[in-house]
Structure 1
């Protein structure tokens, strides 16, 4: 027989522990701060030990509270996952969060194929460079750039992020038809503040100082940097995978065979407890296969 404390109090504790703030927990749960405090005190009395330390204007988890918070949160995730897979309406919509670059240069061109293969499912694509919070945002999966792993999330590596300088053919013609790595320091550079620039130049044997190479306009995504390069505005440091069609069709040219990387990659991530949800599983299999096919053809 299980000796469970009141589940209403446990639910309040989980929210309060996640936020380490009674006011934020109350807002999430639709309760008053006093009600949250009462439920936490009820649970502390039941387990016989303080779970929070009350300070002037904040609460902090005690060691006992911290030990309890992680497994309790995972248990609620598991409960949520169990019921989520029973909700038919949930299976009817797949919500994907991804960055501007991944969406604009690749996924937006491909996602229609996935939806056509699964006409019973609607697909919603949320494009933002901010990290999604699976605990609060209504998102099923995300495509995230970084080094991974991320706690509580399953990860499938999609592709390495590498980079090399590119520009438009017209820009190259205006600057003599060829540019060496040293030449790139004297021509217009797109996003010269990007740390990819000194990294690539040093690997190419160019001695560059620490800090910014020069003033210039900083684009908010590689998607915009590539568009600016195609418009002839300068040389951009780009990932060849995303621009292979523009290279093939002559809108961009590579200035070197050298490709650098800083160890970052694109990953498909999802909450651990939702990994095997049917719609997530179908999308993961499709996405990994599409990326692998395009990498093989690059």
Structure 2
């Protein structure tokens, strides 16, 4: 009893020759010469111990045992081809995007319909990861992250700088007679006082020794959540103006000071594994994001950068 399969190259040649009943046509399909196909069939027959084809002038015929093998082998290859096609079509039709909460809620959620209208053949699955979760760069076609660097070898495009400044609901500001100087902020509850952005901003505003310990710790870990608390009048939040444009335009929030600080080496970025570089769906989404940011006036660096190894 044969425990090992014959060489796959010989089985592949046999399957093609069975369908075409021609070594020449089988070779054309496989990118081989007629002699190479004939050699593979000979190897198969030696492995099996019996002939699978009868060679006649200008044509071949399957032997009885060859026909028996052909039925199962051709069916198996047909099923394999269909399986690969089904998986490829499904993969090509679905774009999986992993995004941190801030970008997912404050940017993607309100714009995704535009991308889908432009690309109706692509089904988008958005998977947002929580404030204290690390992005799983290997489980999505595209990952949008802020505080975590993509793995070495990924392609990466910086999207939005990590800029920040205090914001507050106008009614809360009015409750203390308005905000005219940075010290006035300390009269109000501070949202997420342990956020290091607060100390950076106060120092830049001329208050290097500000004490925020009197406020209870309540790290939200997401600007989307912090902004909602600020809009609800629960305190002053330190936020990125770009992600709060709508709240600022509608008057839900105000930005008391022009001073905006930037976090060194921090930015929201879009990244994907190198094997996705030629993917149509990845390319379309990447270019759409860059175009949307340009419409907003952001100077996005379109140059793909490979993260260092």
Partner of 1:159: 160
Deviation per CA, 1:184-220, whole angstroms, max 9, x where unpaired?
A: 2232111111111001000111022688564232223
Partner of 2:252: 251
Query: Partners in 2 of 1:281 and 1:198 — Cα distance?
Result: 39
Instruction: Map residues 55-70 of structure 1 onto 2, 5 A cutoff.
Output: none
Select which of 118, 130, 135 maps to 1:132. Answer: 135
Q: Unaligned 5+ residue runs, structure 2?
A: 1-83, 300-309
What is the CA distance between 1:296 and its match in structure 2? 4.9
Whether the 8 Å CA contact 1:241–1:295 is kept in 2: the answer is no
Work out whether 1:235 is the aligned partner of 2:236.
Answer: yes
RMSD (CA atoms): 2.2
1:175 aligned counterpart, secondary structure: coil
Query: Partners in 2 of 1:292 and 1:111 — Cα distance?
Result: 16
1:156 aligned counterpart, secondary structure: strand
Distance 1:199 1:155, change over 3 A: same
Distance 1:213 1:261, change over 3 A: farther
When Rg is computed on C-alpha atoms for both structures, the one with the higher figure is 2
Whether the 8 Å CA contact 2:102–2:224 is kept in 1: the answer is yes
Instruction: Map residues 1-298 of structure 1 onto 2, 5 A cutoff.
Output: 87-129=88-130, 130-135=133-138, 137=139, 139-146=140-147, 148=149, 150-208=151-209, 212=213, 214-263=215-264, 264-296=266-298
Whether the 8 Å CA contact 2:168–2:253 is kept in 1: the answer is yes
Query: Partners in 1 of 2:246 and 2:142 — Cα distance?
Result: 27
1:206 aligned counterpart, secondary structure: coil
Distance 1:188 1:134, change over 3 A: closer
Q: For this pair of structures, how many residues does the alignment match?
A: 212
Q: State the TM-score, normalizing by the size of structure 1.
A: 0.66
Whether the 8 Å CA contact 1:189–1:216 is kept in 2: the answer is no
Q: State the TM-score, normalizing by the size of structure 2.
A: 0.64
Query: Partners in 2 of 1:158 and 1:120 — Cα distance?
Result: 26
What is the CA distance between 1:149 and its match in structure 2? 5.9
